[in-house]
Structure 1
């Protein structure tokens, strides 16, 4: 069975109103105690598998979850257990899952690498959850086609398996499709998201338990993983853009989930910004690949990325650039006031309702049927080469524009020209990475590998150079109120000459490379 579920965190200010909607006459309240199992080194969790035994009212259910699309859909297998046997195991403190029930099921292949008999011996209870769940069923009858959703509000604690005092609170609401139309799930979730300003979260209870065991509040930042891009040579245009957006969301959602939950970690902000950049590139350069792309997504993504970038750069300057300068003998410069003066923090930015609704709409887009679109019979391969050529031409024009401005010593525009050059180079890199799986022939692969290597190096070097320009200007401005900043301004100005030369070499290699398309 496949579970399709959307999970949200609830702002405290909206909790009372939300509970009034959750606690209707038809709603049910269930006390749930769940025992979660894994090996001592959490091999199941590393494989994306969650295994539990949970008391749901008067019944006990063994559940395993795994696989799925990495966002809202997962394989789920539930098995009712014999109450007397469970009570006996509880009495002897030997409650353990029965893995033999997964033989000849869709779950068995996912456990093939573990060898069930050996895995059973290695399992232990790592953590438990004590939850009060309020559930209500929402239904729709659309011309005889019935759809139903279970809305579940969970409140309680996740508790360390060996220390009852070591716990973390849980407060979240879930929307699960029970039957019928997927659109009904997203329409309902959007309504609640608007009304109660909910925040999307991809953090499962099993993941929370793993974090509790390691005394961590948030999972590590997630980088882009192109191995998860589900694209083949014969992928259609609508299927291609859905796969690309899905791949971007696999990076965006875990990082945004950590931030809305309270993380101020630079890496979460940086990787979320990176994911949004990749997504923005795909929507802008591949906008004609689907009729279902919403043009309103782009400005929201642009604004979110800009706010994250402003905070991220200043945070990096304060924590890393300043530290490096002090190692070079620079006097200390305090940037804490500058950071405090930023009115919109990453948490505020990511919690913004328009951004959360945009994420929700894009998840729905990735799960929609590409075969019903007019372009469904057109291959992405035939179109993407034209898009790559257009982006390459834009890069060359931006490069020439920057060279011309530098030769004319138009210093006031150099930063803008440099930013434009970086934007077009970054877009070309991401578009090349998205297109790579379409070029599977041997003669293309070698050229592709060389091209991607050179584009990545050029982008990284140009980003470093552009950041030095940004940091140097900040130190220069800071010097008007703090003379200690003069050292940093001078040091960064001097280092720009060397980084500029490196940029030129990297860009020349990109221009000299054979294009793979």
Structure 2
């Protein structure tokens, strides 16, 4: 069975209003105690599998979840257990799941990497959950007596705790709401979730109770940041244009959602912010470059994700400077420069940007887009591969044109001075300053175009031969990283230069980055030239 559900964290300020909608006359309240199992080194968790035995009211159920699309859909197998047998095992403190039941089920492929008898011997109870679940059923009424709809959703609000299996003083609070499609169309699920999300400022979370339990065992609050994983990009040479776009948006969301989930649950880890930003940039590139591949792309998506990316970048750059760059300079003998006030002056933090309602609603619409049927679109008969050459060539041309502009700025001489000028030194200094600013802006624009070229190339690569794509991508990635470093170093230099107007200690940083930039420029130019010399793979 495939479970399709959307889970959200509930902000404290909206809880009372939400509970008025969750606890209606028809709702049910169930006490649930669940025992979660894994090997001591969490082999099941590493394979994306959750295994539990849970008391649901008066019934005990053994459940395993695995696989799915990594976002809203997962494979699930439930087995109702004999209450007397369970109680007997509880009395002897030897309650354990029966893995033999999965031999000939739809969940079997997810366990194929394990020898079930060997795995069963290693299983241990790692943690338990104690949850009060409030559920109600939402049913979409038919428009008339003839057209009777069977669209229904279970809304479940969970409140409780995850408890360490070996130390019950270690606990983590649960306060979340889930929307699970019971029957009918996906559109009803997403339309309902959007209404609740907008009304109660809910935030999407892909972190399961099993994952949170595993983190509790490790003494961690959040999973490590998730980077792009192109091996999970499910496309082939026969993919239609609409199917291709859905697949690459889905791949971007696999990077975005885990990192955004960590941030809305209060992670301040720089890596979560960085990987979320990169994921959004990849998504922005995909939607912009391949918008014509589908009639269902909403133009508003680009506006909202661009705004979110800008907010994340503004915070990350300055915060990283304060927490990483400044300590690095001090280790090399630089006098201290205090950036506290500058960071605090940033009005929008990552959690503000990510929990913003328009961004959360956009994520919901994007998930719905990836799960919709591409075969229903007018362009379903058009193969993506037939239309990629023009799109990729266009981006390559943009990159080369922007590189030419950068070279023009670098090679330009400062304006010649009037021989009668009485302030020639001041004028020349101003001209050089303007030239440096033009150079930085041209570098930023080139980095943006190179990012787009890389992301488009990586997303299209599975449709082409590996040998050509590998060589081309290697050169593009190398140049992109080097140019990104140079843009960052220039930004830091400008920050220290501006800071030096009020704090002379910042002059050390100005000189430090000037030296680094001088050393890297020639190597970067060689890497850019190698892209131009390399044959494209399309």
For the superposition of Structure 1 and Structure 2, which TM-score range results when normalised by the shorter chain?
over 0.9
Structure 1 residue 406: Cα displacement:
1.8
1:351-409 CA distances to partner (integer Å, 9 max, x unpaired)?
10000000000000000000011111111101111110000000011011111122225
Cα distance in structure 1, aligned partners of 2:149 and 2:521: 63
Cα distance in structure 2, aligned partners of 1:210 and 1:411: 51
Are residue 501 (structure 1) and residue 522 (structure 2) matched?
yes
Cα distance in structure 2, aligned partners of 1:218 and 1:411: 41
Structure 1 residue 329: Cα displacement:
1.7
Quick one: which of 410, 416, 426 aligns to 2:451? 426
Q: Which residue of 2 aligns with 1:454?
A: 475
Are residue 316 (structure 1) and residue 337 (structure 2) matched?
no
Are residue 165 (structure 1) and residue 165 (structure 2) matched?
no
Q: Which residue of 2 aligns with 1:290?
A: 294
Structure 1 residue 307: Cα displacement:
0.7
- SS of the residue corresponding to residue 375 of structure 1 reads coil
- SS of the residue corresponding to residue 377 of structure 1 reads coil
Structure 1 residue 164: Cα displacement:
1.3
Q: Which residue of 2 aligns with 1:65?
A: 65
Quick one: which of 236, 242, 248 aligns to 2:246? 242
Structure 1 residue 109: Cα displacement:
2.1
Cα distance in structure 1, aligned partners of 2:22 and 2:395: 49
Cα distance in structure 1, aligned partners of 2:181 and 2:290: 31
Cα distance in structure 1, aligned partners of 2:358 and 2:266: 19
Q: Which residue of 2 aligns with 1:41?
A: 41
Cα distance in structure 2, aligned partners of 1:311 and 1:70: 29
Cα distance in structure 1, aligned partners of 2:123 and 2:18: 38
Cα distance in structure 1, aligned partners of 2:451 and 2:520: 18
Q: Is the 8 A contact 1:126 1:162 kept in 2?
A: yes
Mapping of residues 155-194 of structure 1, within 5 Å: 155-194=159-198
Q: Which residue of 2 aligns with 1:204?
A: 208
Cα distance in structure 2, aligned partners of 1:126 and 1:416: 53
- SS of the residue corresponding to residue 155 of structure 1 reads strand
Are residue 301 (structure 1) and residue 310 (structure 2) matched?
no
Cα distance in structure 1, aligned partners of 2:436 and 2:41: 56
Q: Which residue of 2 aligns with 1:31?
A: 31
- SS of the residue corresponding to residue 25 of structure 2 reads coil
Q: Which residue of 2 aligns with 1:416?
A: 441
Q: Which residue of 2 aligns with 1:280?
A: 284
Q: Which residue of 1 aligns with 2:400?
A: 396
Mapping of residues 134-173 of structure 1, within 5 Å: 134-142=134-142, 143-173=147-177
Structure 1 residue 102: Cα displacement:
1.0
List gaps (5 residues or longer) in structure 2. Answer: 414-434
Cα distance in structure 1, aligned partners of 2:217 and 2:396: 49
Q: Which residue of 1 aligns with 2:428?
A: none
Structure 1 residue 336: Cα displacement:
1.5
Q: Which residue of 1 aligns with 2:222?
A: 218
Cα distance in structure 1, aligned partners of 2:196 and 2:523: 51
Structure 1 residue 210: Cα displacement:
0.3
Cα distance in structure 2, aligned partners of 1:493 and 1:136: 63
Are residue 438 (structure 1) and residue 463 (structure 2) matched?
yes
Structure 1 residue 161: Cα displacement:
0.6
Q: Is the 8 A contact 1:63 1:77 kept in 2?
A: yes
- SS of the residue corresponding to residue 495 of structure 2 reads helix
Q: Which residue of 2 aligns with 1:14?
A: 14
Structure 1 residue 21: Cα displacement:
0.3
Q: Which residue of 1 aligns with 2:102?
A: 102
TM-score by length of 1: 0.98
1:436-482 CA distances to partner (integer Å, 9 max, x unpaired)?
00003xxxx22211100000000000000000110000000111111
TM-score by length of 2: 0.94
Q: Is the 8 A contact 1:464 1:499 kept in 2?
A: no
- SS of the residue corresponding to residue 159 of structure 1 reads strand
Cα distance in structure 1, aligned partners of 2:446 and 2:329: 27
- SS of the residue corresponding to residue 55 of structure 2 reads strand
CA RMSD of aligned residues (A): 0.9
Larger radius of gyration: 2
Structure 1 residue 493: Cα displacement:
1.6
Q: Is the 8 A contact 1:235 1:379 kept in 2?
A: yes
Are residue 126 (structure 1) and residue 126 (structure 2) matched?
yes
Q: Give the number of equivalent residue pairs.
A: 513
Q: Is the 8 A contact 1:6 1:72 kept in 2?
A: yes
1:168-197 CA distances to partner (integer Å, 9 max, x unpaired)?
100000000000011000000000000000
1:307-344 CA distances to partner (integer Å, 9 max, x unpaired)?
10111111221122112222322111111111111110
Q: Which residue of 1 aligns with 2:429?
A: none
Q: After the TM superposition, which of the residue ranges 264-273 and 315-324 deviates more from structure 2? A: 315-324
Cα distance in structure 2, aligned partners of 1:451 and 1:128: 50
- SS of the residue corresponding to residue 504 of structure 2 reads coil
Q: After the TM superposition, which of the residue ranges 317-326 and 147-156 deviates more from structure 2? A: 317-326
Cα distance in structure 2, aligned partners of 1:113 and 1:459: 38
